[in-house]
Amino acid sequence: MTNDEEDICGLCGLPGADKIPHPIRWPDEQSPGTTYVHAECEREECARASNLCKGEARRKFLAWC
């Protein structure tokens, strides 16, 4: 694997990924499946999944983490 392949973002598929993904994810948050992601892609995906998680599922998730 080359350095170019290693910096592919697991969320958008573009090169230049700059961070290791956070290990805790909201329910239905997309898992990147790669070693690195763009910080902005991770923020957007986290916000998307957070907005979808409501009610009892949200309370359980927040109590767990």
Cα-Cα end-to-end distance for the chain: 34
Its pTM stands at 0.85
**One-letter amino acid of 2:** T
Q: Would you kindly state where each structural domain of the chain is located, as residue ranges? A: 3-64
> What's the pLDDT score for residue 14?
97
At 48 the three-state DSSP class reads: helix
Residues 4, 49: Cα–Cα separation, whole Å: 29
CB atoms within 10 A of CB 58: 14
For residue 34, CA distances in Å to 4, 15, 38, 47 come to: 13, 12, 11, 20
Tens of pLDDT, residue by residue over 12-63, are 999 999 999 999 999 999 999 999 999 999 999 999 999 999 999 999 999 9
> What's the pLDDT score for residue 48?
98
Q: Is the pLDDT of residue 1 over 50?
A: no
> What's the pLDDT score for residue 6?
80
